[in-house]
Amino acid sequence: MLEVKDLVVTYGAVVAVHGLSLTVKAGQSIALLGANGAGKTSSVEAIAGLIRTRSGRVSIDGRDVTGHPASTVVRRGLALVPQWRELFRNFSVEETLIAARTGAAGRGALPLEQIYALFPVLAERRRQIAGSLSGGEQQMLAIGRALVTNPRVILLDEPSAGLAVGVVRSLVGIVRTIRDSGVGVLLVEQNLEIAQAVAEDCIVLSTGREVWRGPMREAMALDAIRDAYFA
């Protein structure tokens, strides 16, 4: 289980996240919503240990990981799928998945066959280098790389960005499968429809502050939320 308490992230004098708190339990999916610049990426990057936290606390299964490097955070069971995937372009699909296995630490990595069962296209392309894959395939590889670490919680930063509608639809199905297998999911999204297809509850951010939280279907029904933050 992931617990975030009063997370504050700053860049110099700019406060990007003003005290975010959230909990993601096993098999639960929460969406972090908001327009460009709302502070979503800063939040998940700070939770994952990629950028510094000004204050606040992040814990996984009750163990404090605040301020720990990303390599430690992933070993504790939290895997980030970064916004622009950040794959090693010259690694093959299989090399990418094998390299990620160290992140599983004592939990034991997932067998590659399990990743290939979820993404049959990656099995077909296992010897192809990441840089030559389509955008959708790269996103699948980025998710596969996170899943190999056998995470307790996965953070997905706008997995739909720049992808065609059909690809997004299959990604939605995959994220649901991951959630239903008992992994907690924190999904960053700008698109309410995609978020609703995956998450039960959401937190809406605006200029780094939480402005609403509640069930996704209520957020969808509130014109005030749609108009203010998703116009």
- What CA dihedral angle connects 84, 181, 31 and 36, to 10 degrees? 10
- The reply on whether position 38 binds ligand ATP by CB under 6 A is yes
Count of residues in contact with ligand ATP, rule CB under 6 A? 12
The verdict on 85 binding ligand ATP (CB under 6 A) reads no
**Contacting range for ligand ATP; rule: CB under 6 A; set: 10-18, 84-92, 121-129, 177-185:** 10-18
For residue 98, the one-letter residue type is I
Could you give the CA distance from residue 37 to residue 69 in angstroms, rounded to a whole number? 24
Cβ nearer to ligand ATP, comparing 42 with 150:
42
Residues 6 or more apart whose CB falls under 8 angstroms from that of 72 comprise: 49, 65
For the chain, list the strands marked E by DSSP. 2-11, 14-24, 29-33, 55-60, 63-64, 78-81, 153-157, 184-189, 201-206, 209-215
Q: Three-class SS of residue 13?
A: coil
When the beta carbons of 36 and 223 are compared against ligand ATP, the nearer one is: 36
Residues 184-203 that bind ligand ATP (CB under 6 A): 190
Q: Which of 42, 53, 139, 160 binds ligand ATP (CB under 6 A)?
A: 42
Closer CB to ligand ATP, residue 185 or residue 204? Answer: 204
Would you count residue 77 as binding ligand ATP (CB under 6 A)? no
Residue whose CB is less far from ligand ATP, 96 or 160: 160
Choose among 230, 205, 227: nearest CA to 33.
Answer: 205
Task: Specify the residue for token string 């609403």.
Answer: 212
118 vs 205 by CB, closer to ligand ATP: 205
Calpha distance 19→102 (Å, rounded): 32
Report if residue 28 touches ligand ATP, rule: CB under 6 A. no
Residue 145 within binding range of ligand ATP, rule CB under 6 A: no
How far is it, in rounded angstroms, from Cα 193 to Cα 218?
Answer: 12
At its nearest, how many Å lie between ligand ATP and the CB of residue 225?
Answer: 16
Nearer to ligand ATP by Cβ, of 6 and 180: the residue is: 6
Which residues of the chain form contacts with ligand ATP (CB under 6 A)?
11, 14, 16, 34, 36-42, 190
